[in-house]
Amino acid sequence: MLSKRMQEVLNEQVKIEAQSSQVYLAMASWAEIQPGIDNITAFFYRHSDEERMHMMKLIHFINDRGGFAVIPALVQPTLTFPSIKHAFNELLNHEIHVSESINKLVDIALQEKDYATHNFLQWYVAEQVEEEALARTLNDKLEMIGDEKSGLYLFDRDILNVSVPGGEE
């Protein structure tokens, strides 16, 4: 059984994962109307889907443990970006913020001596390590490319084979 506090903070995480899904969905929609970046567009759509899955996993966990998962209202995400680089930079910053939030949850699970939730959260801890690493790599590549069109062409080609971490449930 979840404590009231644990339930509250897990529900806050439901909101963060839902918001992440919206943030990447907005990036995908913006990318879709930019010329020639179809694979970047697909990457953002995939990322949005993964975040929804992270939210669903939390919802089931809360309800399975005797709590009540609250479906949250969301904030409108950023809709347009000055460049692809800006969008990926926002993605990295967003993932850093999510990692901090997961770490706080882990702390609280330990304070509450809730070892089942602590165990459940380890999946998210590992997930955030991978997601941040991927976001950093992509940002580094974009930094190297600068404004070069040919570099962006190759970046878009290569991202086709990049899988977003944490796809499996």
d(CA 126, CA 158): 24
Task: Tell me how crowded residue 136 is: count the other CB atoms within 10 A of its CB.
Answer: 14
Nearest distance, CB of residue 16 and ligand OFO, angstroms:
7
Determine the straight-line distance between the first and last CA of the chain, rounded to whole angstroms.
22
Which residues, numbered 114-133, are part of the site for ligand OFO (CB under 6 A)? 127, 131
In the list 2, 7, 17, 19, the residue contacting ligand OFO (rule: CB under 6 A) is: 17
Q: Is 90 in the site for ligand OFO (CB under 6 A)?
A: no
Give the gyration radius of the chain's Cα atoms.
17
Closest CA to 50 of 73, 77, 34, 28: 28
In the list 10, 26, 48, 54, the residue contacting ligand OFO (rule: CB under 6 A) is: 54
Nearest distance, CB of residue 1 and ligand OFO, angstroms:
25
Our CB check for ligand OFO shows the closer of 97 and 157 to be 97
Nearest distance, CB of residue 149 and ligand OFO, angstroms:
30
Our CB check for ligand OFO shows the closer of 90 and 95 to be 95
Our CB check for ligand OFO shows the closer of 16 and 152 to be 16
- Backbone angles phi and psi of 81, in degrees to 5: -135, 145
Q: Is 156 in the site for ligand OFO (CB under 6 A)?
A: no
- Backbone angles phi and psi of 146, in degrees to 5: 60, -130
Q: Is 98 in the site for ligand OFO (CB under 6 A)?
A: yes
Angle, to 10 degrees, between the axis of helix 84-111 and the axis of helix 4-32?
170
Q: How many residues bind ligand OFO (CB under 6 A)?
A: 9
Closest CA to 169 of 71, 67, 55: 55
Residues lying near ligand OFO in the complex (CB under 6 A): 17, 20, 51, 54, 95, 98, 127, 131, 166
